[in-house]
Amino acid sequence: MRIVVYLPLPAIEFCGALLGKLLYIALPGRRQVADINLRIAFPDASDNEIIRLRKLCFKNMGIAGFELALSWWQDKRILDLCEVEGLQHITQLQAEGKGVIILTAHFTCLEIGGPVLNHYVPFQVMYKPAHNKLFDAFMRHHRSRLYKAIVDYHKPMAMIKGLKKGHAAWYAPDQDYGREQSVFVPFFGIPAASITATSRLARISGAAVVPFFQNRLPDARGYQLTLYPALESFPGESVETDTRRINKIIEARIREQPGQYLWVHRRFKTRPEGEPDVYK
């Protein structure tokens, strides 16, 4: 990984695409999960379109592996590869002393967007330890170096304290962590266990919520990072209403770049009472 990052970006993406093909062959279980997710999200798509998106997802996952290496060892270089739009949506809020929750989702180029945005607006990240201890050691070392602070996802009070002080915090609530701290609200048209933390964090800390999404540009031209205006009237009348709104925002961005989303996560594994497991 460290050797490859010294190549030009088109060569890095070529290596990533080869890695993606290997992952596609080596991970039949994840291939099946991606297939089911895509069929749920796009019920009207043809078999050929589902297969195309599934392969594109794995290709982008392979590229993401080398993007992670870029963020570890060449974080200064990636600044020149990114176009950043909408920084004022955070800086203006922080100038007023207001904390900011940077709302994002698990797109495959996630590891590019984080270090670049942190260069302009230092922020905290919530961190879930990796199962592999060696890989976890690498992740902790580099994330501690790249970000303002890393917060154990079991201990959110540190993030809340930072938000109350006017700091920014990165949060991606688009994965299924079970029934606890979740509500069932639609995601691509079916009820999905959705984390309520964005609403709760905003309510407790008084922080604004600024959507942030990244996009890998075609032909290895770099990356587009876009910050959107802070959500108005958020938090709203209920946690469920807020969580439904968050899902709609993330879903809209996924529809713009479906091949770049991380479809291999079992997003619909937790079902309402009486509903069957969609992955069996």
Note the pLDDT tens digit of each residue in 104-131.
999 999 989 988 998 899 888 877 788 8
Residue 253 lies inside a defined structural domain of this protein: yes
Which of the four pLDDT bands, split at 50, 70 and 90, describes residue 135? confident
For the segment 25-53, the average pLDDT, to the nearest whole number, is 98
Residue 244 lies inside a defined structural domain of this protein: yes
Three state DSSP letters for the chain: CCCHHHCCHHHHHHHHHHHHHHHHHHCHHHHHHHHHHHHHHCCCCCHHHHHHHHHHHHHHHHHHHHHHHHHHHCCCHHHHHEEEECCHHHHHHHHCCCCEEEECCCECCHHHHHHHHHHHCCEEEEECCCCCHHHHHHHHHHHHHHCCEEEECCCCHHHHHHHHCCCEEEECCCCCCCCCCEEEEEECCEEEEEECHHHHHHHHHCCEEEEEEEEECHHHCCEEEEECCCCCCCCCCCHHHHHHHHHHHHHHHHHHCHHHECCCCCCCCCCCCCCCCCCC
Residue 110 lies inside a defined structural domain of this protein: yes
Answer yes or no: are the C-beta atoms of 166 and 99 closer than 8 Å.
yes
- What's the structural domain count of the chain? 1
Answer yes or no: are the C-beta atoms of 67 and 175 closer than 8 Å.
no
Residue 273 lies inside a defined structural domain of this protein: no
Compare 270 and 2 and report the one with higher pLDDT: 270
Q: What are the helix (H) ranges across 9-81?
A: 9-26, 28-41, 47-73
Answer yes or no: are the C-beta atoms of 243 and 190 closer than 8 Å.
no
Q: What is the pLDDT of residue 2?
A: 87
The Cα–Cα gap between 102 and 196 comes to 15
Strand-pairing partners, residue 65, are: none
Residue 272 lies inside a defined structural domain of this protein: no
Residue 247 lies inside a defined structural domain of this protein: yes
The Cα–Cα gap between 18 and 32 comes to 20
Q: What is the pLDDT of residue 90?
A: 96
Helices 110-120 & 133-146, crossing angle to 10 degrees?
A: 30
Q: What is the pLDDT of residue 157?
A: 84
Which of the four pLDDT bands, split at 50, 70 and 90, describes residue 215? very high
The Cα–Cα gap between 196 and 264 comes to 22
Residue 148 lies inside a defined structural domain of this protein: yes
For the segment 156-177, the average pLDDT, to the nearest whole number, is 90
pLDDT value at 196 more than 70: yes
Which of the four pLDDT bands, split at 50, 70 and 90, describes residue 154? low
pTM of the predicted model over 0.85 = yes
> What is the extent of the structural domain holding 104?
83-260
Residue 101 lies inside a defined structural domain of this protein: yes
